[in-house]
Structure 1
């Protein structure tokens, strides 16, 4: 296989990568993920307990709740450890503070993690747009190399140099497409973590009754 044929083959593979074509599975034509695009969640999707009081929205003004939200939302913290932190926090509260503090915790986790999830989704969209731009550039480079190669008097050193450039650029594109496939899982991971943590709060409150 010649260098040019190899480079053109990489272009074809890159264009057919799952991350490049998954956008057909969603309403947004520019969305590259198999997972459906849901820019924001609703509280009801992750919380099945009693309606939260208006005071829960003031969670960021409570230092202990705010710190706990930051801790348990961090994906580097194993979910079991995060759940334990929630249970330990509940155990430390006087009875009269349990319900209001836990309501604030639920609201805080939702606000924090939904915002993080939305930020990731925006980043995925920007990344996908860049992939589309790179794909168009790769097609143009491949066409230019084809045209150069077809010339009887083509400088073979120039053909080889430009083919090497195309091969390298296509590999970068393919690696980015593969990375995008993994990144597409992050919004779902955040949503599942939020649901599990909210359930931990619900179960903890139920156990205290």
Structure 2
């Protein structure tokens, strides 16, 4: 009975993966992308920024130690978004008027570059995660067939069958937990995008107010 339930779990997970792959292929997207969320490898500046045109000097944000430190602090999801937004306002309020526009432009460019890069790394990791799951599923299916064939032999060692079955059950449980975890991992790129948009909005408001 335990073997039957285990194979049902594997089959259900594999079937779900097949449907996801087919759906993504039909949309001309990456067949390795396992998430319900549409894959957008990189964000564009126009998707996020609705403030004034950024000066060329904004691209040099990483040369400013204060800006770089603030970018990393604001991008960290451990910092509640409300606190991060207030940090932007406090930073803007402390700027000399003649430097405010340029410094705020650097801040946004830094947030965009840093968080867009972070998002791309997460998405790359999701792809690797999905490929590993496919390989693990294929291995489990193969090992399940081998155990099933072993059980069919009249001279099979009951002890060996029990050991192989227990190992397969354990590995299948890990597989199922990883399938469940993937649902949460898939939300991370969207969370990064939402945070970036919220921070960009505050920066734009502060620039317009200067």
Q: How many residues of Structure 1 are paired with residues of Structure 2 in the alignment?
A: 206
Q: Does 1:158 align with 2:156?
A: no
Contact 1:43–1:110 (CA<8 Å) still a contact in 2?
A: yes
Q: Does 1:31 align with 2:18?
A: no
Change (3 A) 1:24 1:97: farther
Q: Does 1:4 align with 2:3?
A: yes
- Structure 2 segments unaligned to the other structure (5+ residues): none
- Structure 1 segments unaligned to the other structure (5+ residues): none
Per-residue deviation, 1:168: 0.7
1:22 is matched with which residue? 20
Q: Report 1:47-86 matches (<5 A).
A: 47-86=49-88
Q: Does 1:127 align with 2:125?
A: no
Per-residue deviation, 1:111: 0.4
Runs (4+) of structure 1 moved beyond 6 Å? none
Contact 1:69–1:109 (CA<8 Å) still a contact in 2?
A: yes
Partner of 2:209, secondary structure, is helix
Q: Report 1:178-197 matches (<5 A).
A: 178-197=180-199
Equivalent-residue separation in structure 2 for 1:118 and 1:111 (angstroms) = 11
Equivalent-residue separation in structure 1 for 2:12 and 2:159 (angstroms) = 26
Per-residue deviation, 1:20: 7.0
Contact 1:46–1:194 (CA<8 Å) still a contact in 2?
A: yes
